[in-house]
Structure 1
Amino acid sequence: MRTLTPDQRVAQLFMVAAYSNRKRIDEDSISTLIQQYGIGGLIFFQGGPVRQSKLLNRYQSQSKVPLLVAMDGEWGAGMRLDSVVRFPFQMSMGGIRDNQLLYDMGQEIAAQFKRLGMHVNFAPVVDVNNNAANPVIGFRSWGENRENVTEKSYLYMRGMQDAGVLAVAKHFPGHGDTDTDSHLALPLVRVDRRRLDTLELFPFRDLMRRGLGGIMIAHLNIPALDTTGMPSTLSRPIVTGMVKQQLGFQGVIFTDAMNMKGVISKYPPGEADVRALLAGNDILEFSKNIPLALQMVRAAITAGQLRQEDIDARCRKVLALKQWAGLDQYRPIALRTLYQDLNSVHAQALSQKLSALSVTVLRNQRTLLPLQRLDTLRLATLTIGTKDTTDFQRLVADYASVDHYWLSATATLDELTQMRATLKRYNTLLVGVNNLGRLPATSFGVTPETNLLLRELTSARQRVVVSVFGNAYAVAKIRDLDRADAVVLAYQESKNAQEITAQVIFGGLGATGKLPVTVTDKYSRGFGLTTTGGQRLRYGFPEDVGMSNTLEARVDSIVRQALAARAMPGCEVLIARQGTVVLRKSYGTHSYSGAPAQAGKPSRAVRNTDIYDLASVTKAAAAIPALMKLQEEGKFSPDKTLGDYFPDFKGTNKQDLKLRDVLAHQARLKAWIPFWQGYTRPAGFFARLFAGFSKPNPNLKPAPDAKLSRRFFRPDSSARFPLQVATKLWARQDLPQQIQKQIADSPLNDKPGYVYSDLSFYLYPLLVKQLTGKPFDQYLQQHVYGPLGATTLGFRPTRRFPLSRIAPTEYDSVFRRGQLHGTVHDEGAALLGGLSGHAGLFGSANDLAKLVQTYAWKGQYGGQQLLKPDILADYTRCQFCDQGNRRGLGFDRQAAKPAGNTAHDASQSSFGHSGFTGTFFWVDPAQELVYIFLSNRVNPTRRNNKLGELNVRTDILQVALESIRKKQEQPVESTVEE
């Protein structure tokens, strides 16, 4: 204080607007104000975190006294900066009941501010918004109830101030009941003093009593407090008389932005600044003309209008605030890890959790939500107001088979008619009202065209779910909402709000949100229906389910090492606990550069929607659920024999093999038979010699130049050759029967005991067809995959999906002579046309997780009991542990002593399966954990065994288990340069 001249003490009371997205000339103008005039602080607006930090380091280095730095961060620094996690709007959270989370939010936002070298947040908004036509507050308020506004504001305030960032409550004495935007004109507040005392002033008074550090004075004309018509910012009766004297506030008083029309329309720059200081404000924000303002303040002091001692007292308060904020030990902002620190997993999880608690269901006729029986739905989404695929639509597609449509909010009558006709073929419509506005004058963006279309849609016999991704008050502008079957209010169009809405609709999450304001007579404050959650997968973060937030980083490390070692070109990892997917991430590419399939082209990056050849995971994800369903229907029992079900096995050495032994891999069946080798013929001279063979020779080993027999294979499909083996290669229709006969005729192993065998799984598709009359894939679709909404699980994927979405496997230079892409890798399954019980199933990680989660939930999913719990428990238990066999019926299990098949810490109740192509799933009921790993490690060759040698799959499972056992706090990065 002693080092500052009188003029410099005046300059400490000014905060100048700064931006990190403008030109160098704008940046240099701020430097001039700092160096020439010694201004006290900055308020940052739009830009980016790294650009702002670099700029702020420059500005601080130029300032004699460290600058006090502020921002309007009502929903975090992301309100102004790109690339920073954002929290929900205050009104979005106005109806949540767990107010303690707002303290956590305050702490997290304070952490953002401190990491960015900022010290003051112009938040929370404590205005009680009781005017639906308010053009400037609205969604920025917690709502219309003073106690709710006060308690939420207090916890947000305390969270920030406990973490060392000053909270500034705004806009004193209350901007909630205005119909004019003070940015554009001076609003008139037409209420008496009693009303102000009981409503508008209530939150301010309470927060002041409980330690509020700062308040911001609004630009308002309030005759009940000042009859002169003076803007409240410039009113001495309000700032000094009420705030300082009547309310006894001793914190820091900030003006609202001094460039707003609410003040400068009547008092020009310079004069407005002098009047603001005369009124009693401590800090003037966003003064338009600093040189003029300082000159006029000095003139006012000289003229005796202002006293230097009053200026000094306010300067001392500003310096004390800077000391409290740690600026007496200022150090530059460290740029390293800035992005990661501003977007911590905890911050993202907290933001999502707040959104999840906010989403409000306003209507739910006949308990439509969450949607049931996905296999009966013909589902479409329609987004009104945007032409791009929305986050809502993307997540809906993760739950069910769906078609997407888009329509402008101002569509023509012809477009509306055409859309209505297009949607008639669906029985369930999910309509999202997007791109809504914030201004009451525009009906919050709800157009007549939107209302017309919704009226048409809700008049039909279809079930219609309307999701409103905008202001709560917009609900009143959407006519005929009461004709919809369900209505969900998301409050805003953030990614979190859209994804949470989809999860509520499908039962991944239950809705608990309540309206913070009254929007219609029917939908009053506090209204909100609850729905059931936990019926399907939800998508969250590790901390939601008691796992460490370091999980992703540890998995990243393992996968990066595997990719560097070329263990596989790419992969996807999915980890879920308690039904919540906490990690779902893709790595690498479909193929290595220069691989035969690439022909010199760069490979596409792996995506979460990609489809993989699941190889032997087919056994546990197709054959076994089919057998369990047959058993539930009384058509199958593992305690019967092969001879009981397969006529060809009667009279053979397999007639009396019990299926329980067979499914547990201890029935003495051979591990495998290379069937395809018996369908080749030598090239050249020997071709003529073998051309007459009508039966394959399974013992014949092909020479490198051997060719497939034309008797069994053709380059084109036909009625006799309908089984696709590979691209431009089709097999004879009777091959499945021939292979079954070869299995029946094959010898048994000499010694009893555990030998993993594929052979019986070739037979189960035939058994399903025999017992049900339905093809294997159709039966699974009807009874398992369809009800799950597992749209990608199935066989012969090229019939349903483009090749670009399917990860290629091996370049087969011996049998199929080409790149395998979209056709099954396993040779035996290929001979069956890709339809087998031991291999041939394709699918995405997300869809496989639905089935695996069903196993974890004892056969339940989507509100249905898809598998009987006792049957599932029998199949997943260890069948012959006393004989040294760890297997269940078709499932692998943790060995009594770690054997490398799974993670060291997996429980003895855990089970799963692996696949030759590099796939794996595991369920640990003891930890409520589900884990999926999908890769195409056989691309380009099966001789690459590094995935297994490096224990990639099991190491990731171990990390997941450890993240539960050893949940720990995230390390805190240094915020300064070393």
Structure 2
Amino acid sequence: MITLVCFISINAFAQKESYIQSLQHQNQWVDSVYKKLSKKKKIAQLFFVRAHTNLGQAYEDSVAKVVKKEQVGGLVFFQGGPVRQASLINRYQKIAKVPLLIAMDGEWGAGMRLDSTISYPYQMTLGAIQDNTLIYKMGQQIAYDFKRLGMQMNFGPDMDVNNNPNNPVINYRSFGDNKYNVATKGIAYFKGMQDAGLLTTAKHFPGHGDTNTDSHLDLPLLPFTRLRLDSLEGYPFREAINAGISGVMIAHMDIPALDTTKNLPSTLSRPIVTGVLKDSLRFKGLVVSDAMEMKAVQKYFPDGEADVRAFLAGNDIIELSENSKRAIKKIKKAIRKGEISKEEFKERVKKVLAAKYWAGLNNYTETSLGTLTDDLNRPEATSLVQQLSDAAITLVKGSASLLKMDPLLKTAVVGVGVTQITVFQKELAKKYENNSLFTINKNASPAELNALLITLKGYDQVYLSVNDTRLRPASKLDYTADVKQFISNVAAHNNSVITVFANAYTIADLPGIENCSALIACYQLTDALQQSAAKAITGQLVPTGRLPVSINKDFLTGMRGSL
């Protein structure tokens, strides 16, 4: 019954005007709240501070103190549990004089941060899907989860074009290296969320996809021309703005083509934030800074200077300041000195208040904790994860007939990079009854590998899966050179099918893998994708996914094998 109500509310919300449209007319609630705030409290509305539910009572109390004393505009939640978080949101909202806007980085849903909740596929996995209505539906489901938890804003989707396989910070978080695919999928995702009443944020403007540096650790340099930036990196953001996205997050990058100031992060650049995004691209929604505690900002602008510069650059929401109390004081001084016009300051504060109104915080109600875990793990959501996984499976070499092989022959099913039999192996074992299951650790000894190679010579056909068990699936596997050579040796077997439950770029890290009879890209290691791959092999589904990135000269963006 609860689930039914949820979908009625989603459909009803779709009739409401968008946040961008709502900014075109005066709002009495916004005006009323604005008039009651002191200058200091108006500045505080632009600040969103960090919150967790896994760091203990003292940490939770320290956030409560900031909410009560500074009256900040919002919170950004990170790791923890859903019931604890919803309970804590209720507590914080009670002590806030103006309702807090609650946000989270949920690129693949609430499960990106919270335990006991559903995680949807990574964006690179979604990049392989040909039916974008599935991604729209995912956006709706994620919006339901956020709202059910008491949140109003998702810092997603990631709309970076990942055209650098070695990108250490975006990579699998991107829909891929084709700007058109990134744009259409990003739009489908955010429209699903916004139509269901959630504020969204395209990131990381003007494009973080071609960097070798993680901006959490240092300031990346983007050395490209304005023409290149506008035509490639900027394309998905331009399309998202035209499609009505409610928010854009600014990256911390040094971009000389847009601002020649040495070592100036784009977040702190008025020519970029106001000149390019607000003026040239005519973006009217919420401009959100990336986290101000990151080293890319703090390295060159410590002690609150970064916060003031971010404010003067044109950011509407200053996220995760190292010290919000200090920053508010410094910004108040900058306003007093006339470094920003009163009208611009007023417009930005009202923009944040208007977001709160659009999200329904003018009629705030406490989040119910009863049935919360069940609501977040509802069957409809689990079913959609499986549908998305089924649609992402990509046959990059071979054909459907080569995948299936003969179920009566002696079959070896080898799991590499794992220590226990996988879901994929168990599923194949049901169909190939004359089977033997093997596992090989990513650090297996040469003796162990050689012994298994000799054993496999006694089998008519081999199914091998490459598994990346790391939380962040990098573009290179953390396997030993001997294990990688083992995979190459198995690929040379007359009848071998290899399935890669890892970042698609890892295929380039396995020379000789292309010699197998058939090769499937599955992008990440989840139970749903293992089920999908087994279905593809046994003929229960036709793999319709296409590569979202170019891996090497043999496997290019948009490719798939013969069906």
TM-score under structure 2 length normalisation: 0.90
Alignment of 1:377-416 (within 5 A): 377-401=409-433, 402-416=435-449
Distance of 2:227 and 2:298 partners within structure 1? 29
Match of 1:509 in 2: 541
Distance of 2:510 and 2:399 partners within structure 1? 18
SS of 1:488's equivalent in the other structure is strand
- Counterpart amino acid of residue 471 in structure 1: N
Match of 2:389 in 1: 355
> Which of residues 3, 10, 19 is equivalent to 2:52?
19
Match of 1:333 in 2: 367
Match of 1:62 in 2: 95
Distance of 2:41 and 2:187 partners within structure 1? 35
Contact 1:503 1:509 in 2 (8 A): yes
Please list the CA deviations of residues 675-724 of structure 1 after superposition, one character each: whole Å capped at 9, or x if unmatched.
Answer: xxxxxxxxxxxxxxxxxxxxxxxxxxxxxxxxxxxxxxxxxxxxxxxxxx
Query: How far 1:228 moved relative to its partner?
Result: 0.7
Distance of 2:281 and 2:396 partners within structure 1? 41
> Which of residues 93, 108, 114 is equivalent to 2:126?
93
> Which of residues 292, 315, 319 is equivalent to 2:326?
292
Distance of 1:30 and 1:133 partners within structure 2? 37
Contact 2:304 2:326 in 1 (8 A): yes
Query: How far 1:456 moved relative to its partner?
Result: 2.6
Match of 1:302 in 2: 336
Distance of 1:264 and 1:440 partners within structure 2? 28
Contact 1:438 1:471 in 2 (8 A): no
- Counterpart amino acid of residue 211 in structure 1: G
Match of 2:259 in 1: 226
Query: How far 1:365 moved relative to its partner?
Result: 6.5
> Which of residues 497, 500, 504 is equivalent to 1:468?
500
Residue 77 of structure 2 corresponds to residue 44 of structure 1? yes
> Which of residues 302, 309, 322 is equivalent to 2:356?
322
SS of 2:234's equivalent in the other structure is helix
Contact 2:163 2:176 in 1 (8 A): yes
Contact 2:157 2:202 in 1 (8 A): yes
> Which of residues 187, 204, 207 is equivalent to 1:154?
187
Structure 1 residues 371, 335: closer, same or farther in 2, change over 3 A? farther
Contact 1:131 1:177 in 2 (8 A): yes
Match of 2:158 in 1: 125
Distance of 1:452 and 1:510 partners within structure 2? 30
Match of 1:201 in 2: 234
Distance of 1:456 and 1:389 partners within structure 2? 21
Alignment of 1:913-952 (within 5 A): none
Query: How far 1:502 moved relative to its partner?
Result: 1.3
Please list the CA deviations of residues 844-903 of structure 1 after superposition, one character each: whole Å capped at 9, or x if unmatched.
Answer: xxxxxxxxxxxxxxxxxxxxxxxxxxxxxxxxxxxxxxxxxxxxxxxxxxxxxxxxxxxx
Residue 225 of structure 2 corresponds to residue 192 of structure 1? yes
> Structure 2: which 5+ residue stretches go unaligned?
1-33
Query: How far 1:257 moved relative to its partner?
Result: 0.7
- Structure with higher Rg: it is 1
> Which of residues 92, 102, 121 is equivalent to 2:135?
102
Contact 1:129 1:141 in 2 (8 A): yes
Query: How far 1:438 moved relative to its partner?
Result: 8.3
> Structure 1: which 5+ residue stretches go unaligned?
532-978
206-215 or 358-367, which deviates more: 358-367
> Which of residues 180, 185, 188 is equivalent to 2:213?
180
Q: Compare the two structures and name the one with the higher helix fraction.
A: 2
- Give the CA RMSD over aligned residues: 1.8
Match of 1:364 in 2: 398
Contact 1:436 1:444 in 2 (8 A): no
SS of 1:431's equivalent in the other structure is strand
Query: How far 1:299 moved relative to its partner?
Result: 2.7
Distance of 1:7 and 1:139 partners within structure 2? 41
Distance of 2:470 and 2:559 partners within structure 1? 23
> Which of residues 96, 114, 118 is equivalent to 1:81?
114
Higher RCO (CA < 8 A, seq sep 6+): 2
Contact 1:6 1:308 in 2 (8 A): no
Contact 1:438 1:445 in 2 (8 A): no
Distance of 2:89 and 2:399 partners within structure 1? 55
Query: How far 1:14 moved relative to its partner?
Result: 0.7
SS of 1:496's equivalent in the other structure is helix
Match of 2:561 in 1: 529
Distance of 2:209 and 2:111 partners within structure 1? 24
Contact 2:159 2:237 in 1 (8 A): yes
- Counterpart amino acid of residue 487 in structure 1: L
Structure 1 residues 460, 149: closer, same or farther in 2, change over 3 A? closer
Distance of 1:458 and 1:242 partners within structure 2? 50
Distance of 1:208 and 1:459 partners within structure 2? 49
Structure 1 residues 356, 366: closer, same or farther in 2, change over 3 A? closer
Query: How far 1:210 moved relative to its partner?
Result: 1.8
Contact 1:438 1:444 in 2 (8 A): no
Match of 1:170 in 2: 203
Distance of 1:430 and 1:161 partners within structure 2? 43
Distance of 1:442 and 1:523 partners within structure 2? 15
Match of 1:418 in 2: 451
Distance of 1:131 and 1:153 partners within structure 2? 19
Structure 1 residues 441, 329: closer, same or farther in 2, change over 3 A? closer
Residue 315 of structure 2 corresponds to residue 281 of structure 1? yes
Distance of 2:39 and 2:412 partners within structure 1? 69
Contact 1:273 1:284 in 2 (8 A): yes
- Counterpart amino acid of residue 17 in structure 1: R
> Which of residues 290, 294, 300 is equivalent to 1:256?
290
Structure 1 residues 93, 59: closer, same or farther in 2, change over 3 A? same
Please list the CA deviations of residues 527-563 of structure 1 after superposition, one character each: whole Å capped at 9, or x if unmatched.
Answer: 11254xxxxxxxxxxxxxxxxxxxxxxxxxxxxxxxx
SS of 1:2's equivalent in the other structure is helix
Please list the CA deviations of residues 762-787 of structure 1 after superposition, one character each: whole Å capped at 9, or x if unmatched.
Answer: xxxxxxxxxxxxxxxxxxxxxxxxxx
- Counterpart amino acid of residue 307 in structure 2: D
Distance of 2:373 and 2:562 partners within structure 1? 37
